[in-house]
Amino acid sequence: MNNNTAEAFSIICENEDIFEFTQLYGLHGVAIQNTEEPDESWFNPKLAHSLGYNDARALTWKKIISPKDLEEIEEILAAHNHSGDILVGEITFLHSKGFFIPMTYKSLCVGENVIIALKKISDYSNIEFKPEQDFKREQLLDTVLDTINIGIIACDSKGKLTLFNKAAKKWHGLPAKDIPQAEYASYYNLYEPDGKTLFKIEDIPLINMLQEGEIRKPEMIIKARTGRKRIVNITGARLYDERKNISGAVIAMHDITEKKEAEEKLRISEETFRGSFESAADGMAITDASGICIEVNDRLCEIMGYPANELKSLNFQEVTYPEDLEEDLKLWNQLLDGEIDHYQMEKRAIHKSGKIKHIIVSVAIVRDENNQPFHFITQITDISSLKEAEKELHNTLNQLENLLESSTRVSIIALDQQGSILMFNKGAENLLGYTRTEMIGQKTLLDLHFKDEIQIRANELSEAHGRKVEPEEVFHIMANRGKPDTKEWNYRCKNGEALPIQLTVTPIYDNESLTGYLCVATDISELKRAQSKIRSILEITEEQNDRLRNFAHIVSHNLRSHSGNIQMLMEIYLEENPELKENEVIKMLLTASENLTESIEHLNEVALINTSVLNKLPSLNLKKSVMKSLTSINALIQKSNLKVINNIPEKYEVLSLPAYLDSIILNFTTNAVKYRSPERKPVLKFNAIKKNDYITLEIEDNGIGIDLEKDGSKLFGMYKTFHGNEDARGIGLFITKNQIEAIGGKIEVKSVVDRGTVFTISFKYEKI
């Protein structure tokens, strides 16, 4: 499948059950996964929109699923888990803005494909920062538009579709498509009430409302390619921007198919009509010529709040809102006079509680055999929920505008394609000192930057693109590299001062056409001051470290000189007084002098390791280095009967000083001899593998082992011994660990008492 939309649609539409499954449960997204091909996945644009992405083709499971739920999604995608049943549950998704969105899922296995329908959950308490305000409003708007059983379609000022809700998609049986207006009727199957004549472009309700502010033909038939045809009644309104300019239009399509069918059946059979009358989804009434109800159905009682007996005693004029009565009576009289045989209008009715109900009234006249008015059939559709939804939509748009204004410390600037400023929020005013009147239509983004900084960035882009990039092109190039560009800049405030900012430039598209840019900047002045303090502290620390290293060298050198003098004086004194060689005090002085000399040598080695600057380490053959080191102690190996196994590959080269590598090998080899087990023949193995950025050397022996629970924390400490050997000094592992770390390596150990020890040493190597 590999994001093949045509193939995905064929799977969804191959039978009515699958299509209905995606429509019922995929409120906020649908995904299809081929169970035999892990990379064969498809995500619909609705899911991409719900997660804040522009392109569904860029989505992958790993990208949008939270790490904790990756294992669960793999279980869902395993076809054998379904066994023909629908799996349900909850998964957390990652929004493009960085916060998490929990969604419920329902998954259905169809052949080798798993179809997953997704719906947002209302609890978003885990969202910890401001974007949740946008998200909740978007969720509210999406939920309202996709749960009402009314088709909602909107367009911009040029007639391009901008909204096509769930009901509209279901009724048309296909998604919205960016096509010329001349093809709307044929693509969306829009017919006149006769069911045969395609709508002319000037009569299409949405275009009619946009261009003329009214709908000339409010009734239409939709012949969907899948599913049944629908007769719809259309209401609508123009949309205006903050300057009262027309910014688009919106229409609401009310399914009146059942009403029309009921009217037709009424003419054929009273019995058929009665069944339709009682079970109609809309309110229905049979009235006499004066407007008094003879019969009413339960739905009409529910809409108006009256019991049937009370409603039958009322005239329609008594429950009509006074301002709408004149138009209603005018149409009623035309119906009586035979000028029209039916009419339809939107009006307000008065509920028993006194509340106002918005309804669509359809009235048809039935005449007797003498062509005299017999009775009237009235159908009432409650559109109060639609009106409430329109109100909520309006409020939501206002709230989004207010949100931009509430960001008082974040600069949000919108630009057109040429870089001219179109929007300048309150945060931008606060940070930069300009008013929006001074900026909108008067300045460009370049006016807010320092010329030398823009030129530096232009030079960098010129080198990267192999051509001269002009300053005017900088932000255009930065914002069109496939993702928003985030970089540290300096804004030039109105007073001329520099304001350090973190600036993100994002392209704005209308479908696939670039319309401008959005620049969001955060003040990082405090961060810069903190960075300056940190740099100052690091400089002081580095200076102190240099002094400590010098101190270590001086102490090591001077102590070694003094200890050498003491040992030399003792030797001269004994040469002059040989009879004192067996004196206990003299023996103790000699031992103390030797120990002092040895300790100073150890300290000198440690100081040299910790102060070495290894900018360029030579590359050494690991296997040859091990063999060379082992040869130098061949007599010790033979005497201890140690079996050495060298499994290191021939071509492994590691970065190290030769003396360090030789010291490391010798230390671990002599330790294997010292701490061999008397119960078995000693064996020492050398193995090596490449793992990521390191060549890892494993040195394994079968000796007496180390109790790591007891001694693991102090294993590499200075002067730490663990087995009571007389010649143990506790300095070998300490020096070895420091040598390994000094060349950029690391060491780990595993050991079992009386079974052996494995030291794992990681060396850096040159990658070719």
The answer to whether residues 513 and 633 belong to one domain is no
The tens digit of pLDDT for each residue in 343-383 reads 888 888 888 888 888 988 888 888 777 777 778 888 888 88
Q: Do 532 and 518 share a structural domain?
A: no
What's the mean pLDDT in 306-331? 84
Q: Is the pLDDT confidence value at 426 over 90?
A: no
In a domain, 400, yes or no: no
pLDDT at residue 397 in the model: 46
Amino acid at site 670: T
Q: Quote the CA–CA distance of 764 and 655 in Å, as a whole number.
A: 6
Q: Are residues 624 and 742 in the same domain?
A: yes
* pLDDT over 50 (residue 269): yes
Query: Residue for token digits 């290191």?
Result: 648
Neighbours of 471 (CB within 10 A): 14
Give the model's pLDDT for residue 682: 92
Taking only Cα atoms into account, the Rg of the chain, rounded to an integer number of angstroms, comes to 42
Confidence check: pLDDT of 497 > 80: yes
How many structural domains are present in the chain?
6
What pLDDT sits at residue 599? Answer: 53
Last residue within a domain, chosen from 204, 220, 255? 255
Residue 156 in 3-state DSSP?
strand
Q: Which residues pair with 716 in a beta bridge?
A: none
Domain check: are 642 and 603 in the same one? no
Q: Among residues 574, 594, 611, which one ends one of the domains?
A: 611
DSSP-assigned letters across all residues of 620-636: EEHHHHHHHHHHHTHHH
Residue 539 forms part of a structural domain: yes
pLDDT band of residue 587 (cuts 50, 70, 90) is low
Contact 167, 150 (CB under 8 A): yes
Identify residue 437 by its one-letter amino acid code.
T
pLDDT higher at 653 or 82: 653
* pLDDT mean over 8-19: 77
CA distance 490 to 521: 10
Q: Is 80 exceeded by the pLDDT of residue 134?
A: no
- pLDDT for the residue 386: 78
Determine the Cα–Cα distance for residues 756 and 478; give it in Å rounded to an integer.
59
Is residue 482 predicted with pLDDT exceeding 80? no
* Closest to 638 (Cα-Cα) out of 678, 606, 594, 669: 669
**Residue 81 and residue 28 share a domain:** yes
Q: Is residue 12 a part of any domain in this protein?
A: yes
669/760 same-domain check: yes
Whether residue 56 has pLDDT greater than 70: yes
Domain with 83, as residue range(s), is: 5-129
Residues 500 and 431 in one domain: yes
141 is a domain residue: no
State residue 616 phi and psi, 5-degree precision: -135, 105
- Sign of torsion over alpha carbons 199, 205, 211, 215: positive
Q: Is 190 found in the same domain as 223?
A: yes
Confidence of residue 600 (pLDDT cuts 50, 70, 90): low
Which 8-state DSSP code applies to residue 182?
A: G
**In the listed set 472, 491, 523, which residue is the last one of a domain according to the structure?**
523
More confident residue, 136 or 217: 217
Mean pLDDT score of the chain: 80
In this structure, the answer to whether residues 636 and 736 fall within a common structural domain is yes
The 8-class DSSP code of residue 379 comes to: E
Strand partners, 348: 358
User: What is the full DSSP assignment across 74-125?
Assistant: HHHH-GGGTTTSPEEEEEEEE-TTS-EEEEEEEEEEETTEEEEEEEE-S--T
Which residues are CB-neighbours of 83 under 8 A, at least 6 positions away?
Answer: none
Q: State the pLDDT confidence band at 486, using cuts at 50, 70 and 90.
A: confident
Same domain, residue pair 251 and 264: no
**Among candidate residues 617, 621, 623, 627, the one with its CA nearest the CA of residue 666:** 627
Are 429 and 435 contacting, i.e. CB atoms less than 8 angstroms apart? yes
Give the β-pairing of 373-382 and 410-416: unpaired
Under a CB-based contact definition with an 8 Å cutoff, are residues 108 and 82 in contact?
yes
pLDDT digits (tens, 9 = 90+) for 618-671: 889 999 988 888 887 887 888 889 999 999 999 899 998 887 888 888 888 888
Q: Which tens digit of pLDDT belongs to each residue from 182-215? A: 888 888 889 998 888 999 888 889 989 998 989 9
Residue 605: pLDDT band (50, 70, 90) is low
Q: What is the mean pLDDT of residues 549-556?
A: 59
| Residues 512 and 586 grouped into a single domain | no
- On whether the CB atoms of residues 359 and 349 are closer than 8 A, the answer is yes
Q: What is the DSSP string of 641-671?
A: T-EEEE---TT-EEE--HHHHHHHHHHHHHH
pLDDT beyond 50 at 128: no
Phi, psi of 520 (to 5 degrees): -115, 120
pLDDT band at 266 (very low <50, low <70, confident <90, very high): low
Domain of residue 721, CATH code: 3.30.565.10
Query: CA-CA distance, 132 to 123, in Å (whole number)?
Result: 11
In a domain, 29, yes or no: yes
Q: Give me the pLDDT at residue 304, please.
A: 86
User: Does 388 reside within a domain?
Assistant: no
- What pLDDT, on a 0 to 100 scale, did the predictor assign at position 759? 92
CB-CB contact of 522 with 502 (8 Å): yes
Q: For residues 532 and 519, state if they share a domain.
A: no
Confidence grade of residue 760 (pLDDT, cut at 50, 70, 90) = very high
- Domain annotation covers residue 601: yes
Residue 299 in 3-state DSSP? helix
Per the domain annotation, does 694 fall within a domain? Answer: yes
Under 8 Å between Cβ of 392 and 272: no
Look up residue 541 and give its two tokens. Answer: 């620390």
The CATH number of residue 168's host domain is 3.30.450.20
Greater model confidence, 374 or 337: 337
Give the closest residue to 623 by CA, choosing from 686, 570, 544. Answer: 686
